[in-house]
Structures are given as structure tokens and as C-alpha cells.
Amino acid sequence: MILFIGIAGAGKTTQAERLAEHFNCPHISVGQVLRDNLPPEELAKQKQGLLIDDAIVLPIVEGEFHRRHAESSELVIDGFLRKLGEAEWLRTKIDEGVVKLTAIIELTLSKDEAKLRLTKRGRSDDSDEGINKRFEEFEAKVTPIIDFLDHHNMPVTTINGDQTEDEVFRDIISELNRKL
């Protein structure tokens, strides 16, 4: 499993799709899986940029991981590890052999560039309020997640997302080639 984390608009889904195609393996956009499976009241929270409770998210994610054979198959995943509880859950699933982790890639991006990209894509949850809320949530949650991952020997590779799509992809492949 190769996980992409990063601020909204950093290009996680774009790069995850490219990487999945490159490795000929499935891509899971956890954000899309949640949009397809959340109850309406939780979907409304997600559209406001709020994070959904682990008790709702994790069973959906685990079901998707099981369906895609995460224990034995390479998967490329974006939009997961948004909260410390998710990172703790992932550590447990790795220890249990339910999930095989290859790499965690953080795409960094300036807020100005992220806002520009998000307003261009035109999703309903990309309002100024929703974008700002996602930025606040990300900043509050990402440092403890990265600290937890590092502490548990799950190193995060940081890639500069303030480059062209092709340059970012080149850097990802270069880093993965060093790890594999």
C-alpha cells in the first residue's frame, strides 16, 4: 500500500491515479469512497470540510481495503490518514497483517496554490468556507500524525507539490525506486 497525504489541492488523487497506472494496481480515493458510502448527515459534514468520526470512517475504509485485498496486493490510496486515530488504526492493521505498507508520501503545497487549484476543480465542497476549514483541520492534525508515523517506523517521504504534475510524479517515482 502506498498512501498519499497532504493538504487539499496538493494533487493526491492525480498523483495516486498516475502511480496506480504506472504500477498497474488499484487506486482508492478514500474521499470518494466516503462520498459514495456516508449517510446523508455525515456527507453534509464532509462537504463543510469537517472530518468524520473514526467510528463511521474506519469500517468503510476497512471494508474497501478488504474488498481490494490490501493484505496481499499493492494499492495506491489517497485521502486517508487525516486523523491520529486513523494512523493508530493503520498501525494495528499492519501489525495484524491485514495491510501491507510500502510507502507514505506527503505532498506539500502552499495554501495560495492549493486554493487556486481547488477553486478551479469546482467541486461543491470547494467553497471558501469549506477550503479554509479543511486547511485548519489539516494543520491541526497532520503534525501529530507524521510524528506518530515516524515514531512507529513508518517514515513519510515529503515531495514538493508546488511543481508541475510531471515533476511531482518524477520525484515520487525516484523516491519509490530508492525504497523498493
Determine the Cα–Cα distance for residues 74 and 84; give it in Å rounded to an integer. Answer: 23
- Give residue 74's pLDDT: 92
Question: Residue 160's Cα: distance from chain center in Å?
Answer: 15
- Give residue 21's pLDDT: 97
- Give residue 179's pLDDT: 79
Per-residue pLDDT reduced to its tens digit, 66-87? 999 988 889 999 989 988 999 9
Local mean pLDDT, 10-residue blocks, the chain (180 residues): 93 96 95 91 81 92 92 92 93 91 95 91 80 85 91 94 97 92
- Give residue 133's pLDDT: 83
Task: Write down the CATH number for the domain with range 2-174.
Answer: 3.40.50.300
pTM of the entire predicted model: 0.89
Q: What percent of the chain has pLDDT over 70?
A: 99
At 55, give phi and psi (nearest 5°).
Answer: -60, -25
In the chain, domain spans? 2-174
